[in-house]
Structure formats: structure tokens, C-alpha cells
Structure 1
Amino acid sequence: MKKYWKFISILVVILLSIGTFYVKSATSEENHPEFVIKTQSGDAKEIEPLILDGYYSDTSTMNYKSTNVKISSEGSTYERRSFLDQIIGQPPAVIKVYQEKYRSFMRGKGTNVNSFSETDQVLAYADVDYKTDSFHSHDFTFPISILNKEDGSVQSFTVEIPDSENMDYAFMEDVQMIEDELYLITNNMIRSSESSYDEKHVYTIDLNNQTITNDETLSQVPEGQEGNHVVAEIIRTSPTEANDHLILLQKEIKVIHDPESYREEVVKQEVISYNLATKEKESIPMSDLPIDSELSFFDGSSIYFIGVEEQEIVVSPYHLADGKAGEEYRLQLSGDADHGSAPMTTIKDGKLYLSGMQINPKLNMNATDVIVADVKTGEILFKGQITLDDSEATNQYELYLHEMLVE
């Protein structure tokens, strides 16, 4: 009987601890300050589709605890983090929207944004699944589900990944839907008797026949020379907009060791444009590209290099249609915002959305910028700052923003 009382006592302690946690969370929620996006110039309607996700931390006490906060044109809302959320983290904002709108379809799906593709008619999902044993990974497959938004029907099936005998691992980098074909872009780690290396693959899935009709190696990442290493990445696009092109950036990086640190220097880089429908691959001449900036975004027709120079955001477009670099433009940031660190950026419907990532009064960062600009011309459509509402007086806090969503 004693062992049961011991078990009951432990259970009571656990329940009381969890209850105390939620009571404290609910109580502290009432004291959370109101963050607003104050308009400095332009039309405030431009930020109505913008949602920023982050964490708020009260630093006035030793109880240093962060709370989820969502900031939009309507102000700030706080969301209590469940015990499970604090262990495994919350899903990205896009995934949360899908979970709310398509609850049944999203059941059992992963939270990798790159596994989804959305059009006006469908929401498509694909992932990589495989088995492992003590020796190696095997039986690689693609579990695929397509939701028809109009009638709510779901098409689900699984296809085997071809030529996967020498694969150690694979993960989904992008999913694109064009008419009745699904394109899955993966990073496959290949092992051989002499070495291992990465390959970027593009698999074409015929949805009517539920088969793989094409498997193309977009790039093979070789081992670097003389201690250099090579990286290849698919350039970011909007997760809710389909594109018939992929943009791949491949760099060879040299590691330079200084007496007390080390730094990296790009020795060679190549930009590859790949048309999913025609299977045409084209190398973009690097002489036409601003290599000092980061290759940041692809909107389906143009590539955008976005860099930071002191208090300016430098945007350099490259247009695929005519194969020419566009005119560079600059966006001025406020002097007290983020001390020159790179902001979050995304592009949608011909507009560039930009937001700083941090407010910390102790570091003299009392606000952070929000800018909406015409992505082609750089004309500023809205400029404002995230700051505390005028009625708030505290300066013992930190705000860190980590995700931007444009609905």
C-alpha cells in the first residue's frame, strides 16, 4: 500500500506544479505591455497583412521567462506557452495558420514549412520517410497528401524513392505544385566506398498516376579543395506562392585561421536557375551579380540580393526574363534600430516587407523599424517603428522577433 501512496504523492506534486505554472502564467499575462507599430510615413493599410511573431521577456526580476507575442497593425497579443510548447517549441506561423484552417488535413503532418505548397485550389504536402537499423538507413519513401480546398477531398499515397540504396539521409527542401504535377526538391546524403557527399534532387510526381516520372540531380556538392568546404542552398521563396523556377546558390568557402579566431572567405560561387516545367538549367554569370550581398529571396521572376551597410538596407535585383541586373536601391533605417544587424525580409505581391528583430532598452534599442516598399523601384509605401504604447513606462524588458508572415 505504501508504494501506492508514494505514487499518489508524486502525482499530486506534479499536478500542483503544473497548476501553479499556469496560474502564474495567467497572472503575469495581465502585466504584459502593449506593442504598437507607429506610422512615420506612408499608408498604414500596407501593414494590415503583416504579422510578426516573437518572444517578450520581463527582465525586472530574476524570474527571466519569455512569452509568445504576436504583433500586427492592431497591436500585440500574447499567447501562453504550454508545457509541451516550451519543450518542443511552437510551429512556424504559416503552419499554425494551416492547422487552424485545415485541422483534419494537418493531423499527423510535420511542421517543416518546406514540405508544403499552396495554390488557390490545393494544399500539397510531401515529406521523406525511411527506416533505420544498426547498419544504415533504408526503404526511403515520399508520403504525399493533396487537399482539394473546394470540396475538402484528400488524395494520399506513398511512392518509393528510386536509387536510394546508397543514401544515408534525405530531407525535404521545397515542394512546388504546377497543374497536375508535384515537384519535390530534396537534399540527399550519399555514401560511397571512398567518401560521402550531398546531392540536390528534383523529383517529378504525376498525381494522376501517383508515380515518379523524373528524377534529376540538380547539383552534387563535392568535397572542398585544400581544406575548403562547399555549400549549396535553395534560395528562399514565399511558402504560400508557387514558382516554376528554382534558384540554387553554390559556394566554395575557404576557412582562414587567425591567431585568435577564424573567418570565412568565398573563393568561388555559382548561381543556377532551374525551370521545373522544361527541365532547363542555366548558370547565371557571377560578373552580373553583387557578390558582397546575401542572395536573399526569389519571387518567381527576379532574384534579390539584400545586404546591410551601416544604417542602410541595400537591395540589388536580378531579372531572369532579360538576364540583367536591375538598378540598386537603398532603404534608410533609424539610428537606434538593431545597431546595423540584418532585419527580417520577405517579398509578396510585388512588395518588400522588412522588420527589425530586437528591442532592448538596456542596449539603447528602444524601437525597431518596419518598412514596406515597392520591390522593383524601392519606393517606400510605409515606414514605421515597433515601440511600446505611450502609456507604458517600463524599460526592463526584451523583445525578440523571429518570424514574419504576410497573409
Structure 2
Amino acid sequence: MKRYGKLSVIAVLVVLTIGIYYIQPIFTAETKPEFTISEKKGNQELIEDMTIEGYYHENNLFGIGTDLEITPEGTTYYSNQPYQNQLQGSVSANKKMTQLQKKYRSFMRGKNYFLTNFFEDESILAYAEITTNRFSSVTEESEFKIEVLNKKTEEVLSYSVDFPKTTEYVSIYVEDVQVANNKLIVVTNGYASNKDDMQDEQHLYSIDLPNEKIEKDEKIQLDLVDVTGKQVQYVELINEATDIASAKFLVYRVVLEDTQIEMEINQGEQEIAPPVYGLIGVNVETGEQFLIDISKEVGSQGLGDTLPLENMTLYTYKINETSLSIYAYQLDQKELTEVESVALSKTQKKALKEGMTMQINEGLAFFVSSSNASDKDMQIMTFDSRSGELVLEGAIDEKASKSVKRDELGLYGILFQY
């Protein structure tokens, strides 16, 4: 009987596999709409190099969906890209990777397909990875593999450095690479194991280039954030993952769970406890870590939304009763200023609801709806952060043969390509 039971299970799996194989194209090829970015009022040139990242649910019943990128020319679906390109996680990131592979063909050969492993400036192109076993776990043999290309001489410096404390980490990956004071700084995120549980840890390893050794290991100091009565859920580096240029500062967002509220919910309350956020800044050159304490001014929502970085300035916003306040935090001065308070019409305020994605590009603040939105709410707005002037109103237009529900489209990022 057991034998026939197993055969029945196999038969069901075969039927389901074949069914999904034939059903999925119905929900992918036929229902994928074509979206474009359009200017409705203002400077058309501001959207020419703009890319909006999002996610499209092709069929909620089967859980089928795909990430996408929308430009003024049209839509690119990640699911239509080659598998290797999908690993990168961004069409724009793939474009940068392709540029590097064409320009530095020999140096790029055999390296990981993630921009987070690279650093580039006018003089060098650097690469760092941590070797792991086939299960992506750290072993006693794990090490940093470093390669640095001198763009002028075309010479390549290659060496390996033993990874420290290999027995204490279950897994680890490179989150960013920087160069400062003639040292390669490898930013990592991984899980350290102990007898009780696994803890997420973030480190900055400073590797001395001339001497080929780890000079300093700095762990991100999560205790800079007030965790009294709270539990750390996760920590994220908010610097743009596709930017491999030099960054003077790194910014981490610590997401906390209020354990007291969670206890009350478990005792019968139905209200969902919102997360609590904290921000930690890191000076890449000096290694200094500091608390970015701006929650009183911008509120918890302001810390939870997209926080764009431009040069040494961190931006956020707050929606008031009749206006939009744009804030700039100077990381080098550790000062927060309200850059501009913009008066909003009722229509603008409705569009600029909480959950908007914000991006700063050359002093201009771009806002796009980052949640599932209806046709009327699918707005793009751009303000000059220095004068408060509204310089662009735009929309995401749908070019489809048949109507597709807009609540199936979610937006979460803005990029600019030059």
C-alpha cells in the first residue's frame, strides 16, 4: 500500500508540474502590461534618465509575480531576463556589470556577479569576496580573496587573507567594498552562532593593501540605538547597492520590535505593533560610529521610508496637515535641517500619502507612490529642495491591450542613469 501511496503522490506532483508549466504562460505572457513614465506638467528632461523599480503581481491566486523596471520608453520584466541577470536583482545593475565586463574583460573574468563586491574610482577597480563551501557556509578554510586593478598601468594586485573567527559564523556575505587611507574596507553581513541562537552581525574589515593583512575589524555598534524593551529584528545597509563609487559615510537602519506591545497583543489585543527604527552612521575613513537621532523631527514613519543619500547628506521627509517638509541630515556635521516646507494642494497631499518612495538627484526631490495604488493616485512629483518649487508632475501610464488592475503594481525604488 505504501508503494501505491508513493506512486499517487508522484502522479499528483507530475500533474501539478505540467499544469503550472502550461498555466503560468497564461498569466505571464498575456497579462503583463506595458507601463511608461510620462510628464504631465513641468520639465520633461527630468524624467528622461529616470527608472522606477517595482513589483507586478501577475496572478494573486497562484502567487505569480515579477520585479520590473519602468522608464519613459517602456517596461522591463526581470522574469524575461536571462537567469544570470536575474541574480543581480536589477536591470540597471546588469547594465553597469556589462560595462565593467566589456571594459575590463580580463579582470572581470571568474568573479561574482554582484556589484556589492566591487569598488571603483578614477584610479582603481577593486574586488573582494569571501570563499565559502558549496552550501554558502563559512569554513576553517574561508578567506578574503582580493584583486585590485590599477587602471593606468593595468597591473593587478591579487592576494588572499584568512577570514577571522571562521568557526563562529554560519554564513556571511559582502555587502559593500570601499577604499580609504590606502586600505580596502570590506563591509560584511552574516550570522554568528552561539549556544542560544543566531545573531545577525555587520562588520567593517580594514585590509592593509601594501601588507596584505587585516588591520582592523569593527563591528557595528547596535547598542548606539536605544533597545530598552525592544528586540532587534534586522539591520540593513541603506546605501545604494548598485553604486560602487566611493562613499564617505555608510548608514544602517536598525529595525526594532517593541516586546512590551507584542506581549500585550499575545494576551488578546488585535492591533498590529508597528516597528521602531533607529539609524547608525559610520565614517568610512575614521571608523567612527554615531547615532543619527532625528526621530523627534521626522517621526518613526520618516525613518522607515526610503532614505536617499547624496554625497554626505541623508534626506527624508514628513507630511504635515497642509505641507511637505523635506529634511537634510549632514553626516559630516551631524546636523539636521529642514531644507524646505512645501505647501500642498488637496490633490497633491492625496498623492503624497505615507509610503511614498523618495529619491534625491542633483538637489531635486522625486516622489513616487511606493504602495499599491489606483489610477488617480499613481503620481510622480518633483520639488526643488532648495526653493520648494514644484518642477514636475508626472504619471505612470499603462499601455495594455486590456485593462489590468493597478492594485497589482507596487513601486519601491527610483534610479537615474547617465
Give the TM-score of the pair, scaled to structure 1: 0.71
Does structure 1 residue 302 correspond to structure 2 residue 306? no
CA distance in 1, matches of 2:258, 2:247: 33
Choose from 294, 319, 344 the match for 2:357.
344
Q: CA deviation at 1:262?
A: 3.8
Does structure 1 residue 254 correspond to structure 2 residue 253? no
CA distance in 1, matches of 2:95, 2:315: 27
Instruction: Sort the Cα spacing of 1:169 and 1:365 in 2 relative to 1 into closer, same or farther, 3 A.
Output: same
Instruction: Sort the Cα spacing of 1:27 and 1:300 in 2 relative to 1 into closer, same or farther, 3 A.
Output: closer
What is the root-mean-square deviation of aligned Cα atoms in Å? 4.7
Instruction: Sort the Cα spacing of 1:271 and 1:88 in 2 relative to 1 into closer, same or farther, 3 A.
Output: closer
Query: What corresponds to 1:275 in structure 2?
Result: 283
Query: What corresponds to 1:11 in structure 2?
Result: none
**Unpaired runs of at least 5, structure 2:** 1-17
Identity of aligned residues (%): 21
CA distance in 1, matches of 2:182, 2:53: 34
How many aligned positions are there?
Answer: 381
Deviations 1:272-324 (A, max 9, x none): 43322223344455587534321623334222234556897643222234433
Tell me, yes or no, if the aligned pair for 1:137 and 1:169 is still in contact at 8 Å: no
Query: What corresponds to 2:12 in structure 1?
Result: none
Instruction: Sort the Cα spacing of 1:111 and 1:94 in 2 relative to 1 into closer, same or farther, 3 A.
Output: farther
Deviations 1:231-276 (A, max 9, x none): 563552244242122234446541313322441464xx76443322
Does structure 1 residue 72 correspond to structure 2 residue 71? yes
CA distance in 1, matches of 2:359, 2:196: 41
Query: What corresponds to 1:175 in structure 2?
Result: 177
Deviations 1:346-386 (A, max 9, x none): 334433333224666xxx43562223334455443322111
> Which stretch of the first structure deviates more once superposed, 158-167 or 192-201?
192-201
Tell me, yes or no, if the aligned pair for 1:168 and 1:189 is still in contact at 8 Å: yes
Tell me, yes or no, if the aligned pair for 1:310 and 1:340 is still in contact at 8 Å: no
CA distance in 1, matches of 2:271, 2:45: 47
Amino acid at match of 1:52: I
Q: CA deviation at 1:395?
A: 4.7
Tell me, yes or no, if the aligned pair for 1:93 and 1:405 is still in contact at 8 Å: no
Query: What corresponds to 2:4 in structure 1?
Result: none
Instruction: Sort the Cα spacing of 1:42 and 1:99 in 2 relative to 1 into closer, same or farther, 3 A.
Output: same
Query: Residues 366-405 of structure 1 correspond to what in structure 2 (within 5 A)?
Result: 366=376, 368-388=378-398, 394-396=403-405, 398-405=408-415
Query: What corresponds to 2:98 in structure 1?
Result: 100
CA distance in 2, matches of 1:324, 1:318: 6
Q: CA deviation at 1:50?
A: 1.3
Instruction: Sort the Cα spacing of 1:102 and 1:152 in 2 relative to 1 into closer, same or farther, 3 A.
Output: farther
Instruction: Sort the Cα spacing of 1:194 and 1:70 in 2 relative to 1 into closer, same or farther, 3 A.
Output: closer
CA distance in 2, matches of 1:301, 1:141: 32
Query: What corresponds to 1:4 in structure 2?
Result: none
Structure ranking higher in strand proportion: 1
SS of 2:160 mapped into structure 1 = strand
Tell me, yes or no, if the aligned pair for 1:94 and 1:113 is still in contact at 8 Å: no
CA distance in 1, matches of 2:93, 2:150: 17
Query: Residues 22-101 of structure 1 correspond to what in structure 2 (within 5 A)?
Result: 28=30, 34-54=34-54, 69-73=68-72, 75-78=73-76, 81-82=79-80, 85=83, 91-101=89-99
Choose from 140, 147, 154 the match for 2:142.
140
Query: Residues 6-21 of structure 1 correspond to what in structure 2 (within 5 A)?
Result: none
Q: CA deviation at 1:109?
A: 4.2
Instruction: Sort the Cα spacing of 1:306 and 1:231 in 2 relative to 1 into closer, same or farther, 3 A.
Output: farther
CA distance in 1, matches of 2:292, 2:410: 36
Instruction: Sort the Cα spacing of 1:285 and 1:394 in 2 relative to 1 into closer, same or farther, 3 A.
Output: closer
Tell me, yes or no, if the aligned pair for 2:251 and 2:282 is still in contact at 8 Å: yes
Query: What corresponds to 2:298 in structure 1?
Result: 290
> Which stretch of the first structure deviates more once superposed, 291-300 or 215-224?
215-224
Amino acid at match of 1:91: G
Tell me, yes or no, if the aligned pair for 2:56 and 2:67 is still in contact at 8 Å: yes
Query: What corresponds to 1:243 in structure 2?
Result: 247
Choose from 168, 191, 204 the match for 2:206.
204
Query: What corresponds to 1:125 in structure 2?
Result: 127
Tell me, yes or no, if the aligned pair for 1:197 and 1:221 is still in contact at 8 Å: no
Tell me, yes or no, if the aligned pair for 2:139 and 2:166 is still in contact at 8 Å: no
Amino acid at match of 1:217: K
Structure ranking higher in helix proportion: 2
**Unpaired runs of at least 5, structure 1:** 1-15
Instruction: Sort the Cα spacing of 1:65 and 1:235 in 2 relative to 1 into closer, same or farther, 3 A.
Output: closer
Tell me, yes or no, if the aligned pair for 1:128 and 1:171 is still in contact at 8 Å: yes
CA distance in 2, matches of 1:194, 1:80: 39
Instruction: Sort the Cα spacing of 1:149 and 1:188 in 2 relative to 1 into closer, same or farther, 3 A.
Output: same
Tell me, yes or no, if the aligned pair for 2:39 and 2:47 is still in contact at 8 Å: no
Amino acid at match of 1:100: T
> Which stretch of the first structure deviates more once superposed, 217-226 or 368-377?
217-226
SS of 2:132 mapped into structure 1 = strand
Q: CA deviation at 1:184?
A: 1.4
CA distance in 1, matches of 2:114, 2:362: 23
CA distance in 2, matches of 1:246, 1:27: 41
